[in-house]
Amino acid sequence: MEQKREQWGSKIGFILAVVGSAVGLGNIWRYPYLLYSNGGGAFLIPYFVALFTAGIPLVLLEYGFGHKFRGSSPLSFARANKKFEWLGWWPSFSSFIILTYYTMILSWAMNFLTFSFGQSWGVDTDSFFFNDFLRISSGPFDIAGMRWPIFIGITLIWAINWFISYKGVSGGIEKLNKVLLPTLIGIMVIIVVRGVTLPGATLGLNKLFTPDWSKVTELGVWIDAYGQVFFSLSLAMGILITYSSYLPKKSDLNNSAFMTAFANSGFEFLCAIGVFGILGFMATTQGVPIEDVASQSIGLAFVAFPKVFSLMGPLGTVFGVLFFASLVFAGLTSSISLMEAFASAVVDKTGSSRKKIVTITAIVGYLVSVLYATGAGLYFLDIIDNFINSFSIVVVGLLEAIIIGWVVGADKIRKHTNSVSIYRIGKWWEIMVKFVTPAILIYMVGSNIINELSNPYGGGDYPSSALMLLGWGVVGAIIVLAVISSTTKWKKGVLEDIDSEEV
């Protein structure tokens, strides 16, 4: 007897889990700056075009694909067309690699959560983060020593990930998201409401939204919009395919796709308002222009914001705790989805128990993550993350659109999603998936490759051997592993077993 596939306990559980994956560090520390630096209000045009021509069509594609073939990404591809199973493994391995460094960022956030109580980052937050906390080494080949506070954080995050995954889809992932996502939204609303009432907040908000229409004509701005939509919706990672494979047969996929995309965009927008309100306060208090304080990514979270929190006095302690808690919560719900995209693939292929696979994955992943807890960790993260985002994810998205759109058949997927949904998707969707999305993604991949070749990542800061090894090498290794995995044998009967799970 085949085992029944696990299922979400409710539709809302599924939506929360997908939104939990989508809402992550990208929403909090990437989107606000992107909006600000790419033309403010004017950026909303490329952003929404990207959402409707690539974001939502691909969410629907992945939902439909995973739901129709009822499997993790490799299982769905293998069932659709055995020749393309490798393409299913590619995002699963990317997910695993991303998970190993996502864990490190969460460990930083956890550490900073504890620092917030005493604002122990002092006055020079930049030096505190890089020299005292990370003890950053001289380059990617200088491992330096182990950073024990980061090591402890990584251990804790892996333990949580392991425990949640071990508990299964409805007993672990769904429960985690049901608690963390509403909490996260609540925290963000508090940050935003208090943030926009700080003195000087309007300065930040004006800067954020004032449209610079000339930007709309710049190609780079459009690439940024597509990149953000792609990353933010957790596309091309095997996550949405896997999550939708746990839905009951009759599930309104079309409606869910729009709901997740809008929920994610809404949250991004909320974060942008909060972040720029706070940056406006900082600029005003220090008497400097917004340009001098606006930043993104780790510079925003671990350098600029700690500084603002110190400026706020006791209120800053509350803000600090809430902010770093929001990073940890947003990151946990994303990292659990990365874990699932990988573990479910191995469970499907080998037929072993979830508990066993999750435990092995957690141990191996943890051992890899520990490498990032060294003085060279930030360099590893920076190089690997850039190559995975610029090449691995975009290429997988492109191949998915082409293979599912043309070989498996966009019409078949549309027929499937329409047959289970209340609201029906029109022919426009097939045109998007078969022509528009691939054309845009080909352009993106091409320009990323040209960019990297003419101007290697890091602007000369990294030796080319490091880029070879950690950049091209890691992406190459992911592809090789994907191809090898696709040649191993499936557990007997799994490929044919698609209709055995009656719902």
> Toward ligand PHE, which CB reaches closer, 180 or 203?
180
Closest distance between ligand PHE and the C-beta of residue 227, in Å? 11
Crossing angle (nearest 10°) for helices 174-196 and 11-22: 60
- CA 95, 399, 445, 243 torsion-angle sign: negative
Decide whether 25 or 247 has the Cβ nearer to ligand PHE. 25
C-beta of 60 vs 290, nearer to ligand PHE: 60
SS3 label, residue 500: coil
Of 68, 77, 58, the C-alpha closest to 345 is 77
Query: Given the structure tokens 């596939």, which residue do they identify?
Result: 5
Our CB check for ligand PHE shows the closer of 101 and 462 to be: 101
The answer for residues whose C-beta is within 8 angstroms of residue 288's C-beta and 6 or more apart is none
Q: For ligand PHE, give the closer residue by CB, 99 or 134.
A: 99
Q: Would you say 25 and 330 are in contact if contact means Cβ atoms under 8 Å apart? A: yes
**Cα radius of gyration (the chain):** 22
Cβ-based nearer residue to ligand PHE, 234 or 295: 234
DSSP state of 167: T
- Footprint on this chain of ligand PHE (rule: CB under 6 A): 21-22, 24-27, 231-232, 234, 237, 239, 334, 337-338
d(CA 247, CA 381) in angstroms, rounded, equals 34
Minimum separation from the CB atom of position 274 to ligand PHE (A)? 16
Whole-number Å distance between alpha carbons of 41 and 56: 21
For 40, list phi and psi in degrees, rounded to 5: 55, -130
Q: How far is the CB of 35 from ligand PHE (least distance, A)?
A: 14
Give the nearest distance from C-beta 185 to ligand PHE in angstroms. 15
Q: Pull the structure tokens for residue 212.
A: 């610079």
Per-residue burial over 66-102, b = 16 or more CB atoms within 10 Å of its CB, e = otherwise: bbbbbbbbbbbbbbbeeebbbbbbbbbbbbbbbbbbb
Nearer to ligand PHE, 231 or 366 (CB): 231
User: Which CB sits closer to ligand PHE, 16 or 237?
Assistant: 237
The least CB distance from residue 34 to ligand PHE, in Å, is 11
CB of residue 61 to ligand PHE, shortest distance in Å: 16
For the bound state, the minimum distance from the C-beta of residue 235 to ligand PHE, rounded and expressed in Å, comes to: 8
Please give the backbone phi and psi of residue 146, each rounded to the nearest 5 degrees, phi first.
-75, 135
Q: C-alpha angle 151/20/50, rounded to 5°?
A: 115
Least separation, in Å, of the C-beta of 165 and ligand PHE?
A: 14
